[in-house]
Amino acid sequence: MAVDFLQEYLRQVGANLVSATTNIVSDVIRVIPGLIGAAVLLTVGVFIGKYVKKFVTGVIQSTKADDWLREKKLHDALGNRELSSIFGSFAKWYVIVIFLAQSLDLIQMRVLRSFTEFLISFINSLIAAMIILVGGLLLARYVRNVVESTEYQYKKTIAVVIEVMIIYVSAVISLQTVGINTKILTDAFIVGFSAMVFGLAILAGLVFVLAFRKDIVQLANDLRKEVGK
């Protein structure tokens, strides 16, 4: 009986192996056409993405936006990259991701289909976040240049502080757009900003007292005389 049991066990194992192998081969055969189609579609997407980048870059360049940024000394805020090139790259990768999503859908796998939906949603949020961040960088540098063009004694320090604050806020908004929890960053900004305002208030009070020290002393003496009468 032991021999019969062993033979039956081996037969079942063999049948399971044959069934599993058959299923794998069947799935591979079913997926191969989708893989070929996906590869072709993705290749087409890469080529189209390159042409879309050239088109978007050319359109933005025709508006003289890059020249305006150089004129306003905002070019270095983007790492010395042209605005047209940045948005051209956004457009290129957006097209590629769209084609990639469609390519994965051709493979007809449920897991990949779910990933495709997530990828499209994420890339939309990511591009929106990058646009917000780029706008924040440009705004921060513009405000810094405006402050530095004044005659105030501490203009450089104030300009840098304002620039950092604007960039920080832009970065937090960008992270929120992507879906990242920024509560810690928001709370840290509120605490830091409150501390800075409190410190500036104390500093302003000290400056006022020192600037009008003689007048304050004179006023105190006059009040003392009036009270003593």
pLDDT in tens, 185-212: 676 767 776 766 666 677 666 666 656 6
Distance CA 88, CA 86 (A): 5
Distance CA 52, CA 46 (A): 10
Percent of the chain clearing pLDDT 70 (strictly above): 63
Give the three-state DSSP class for 86. helix
Task: For residue range 66-106, list pLDDT tens digits in order.
Answer: 787 777 777 777 777 788 888 888 889 888 888 887 887 77
Percent of the chain clearing pLDDT 90 (strictly above): 3
Task: For residue range 142-157, list pLDDT tens digits in order.
Answer: 888 888 887 777 778 8
3-state helix, strand, coil in the chain (%, to 5): 90, 0, 10
* DSSP H or E run through 78: none
Which residue is it, tokens 């960008």? 174
pLDDT computed for residue 27 by the predictor: 58
* DSSP H or E run through 59: helix 2-62
pLDDT computed for residue 17 by the predictor: 61
Distance CA 208, CA 15 (A): 93
Distance CA 134, CA 174 (A): 10
User: Which whole number is the average pLDDT over 15-36?
Assistant: 61
Distance CA 116, CA 107 (A): 11
Q: Above 70 in pLDDT, residue 18?
A: no
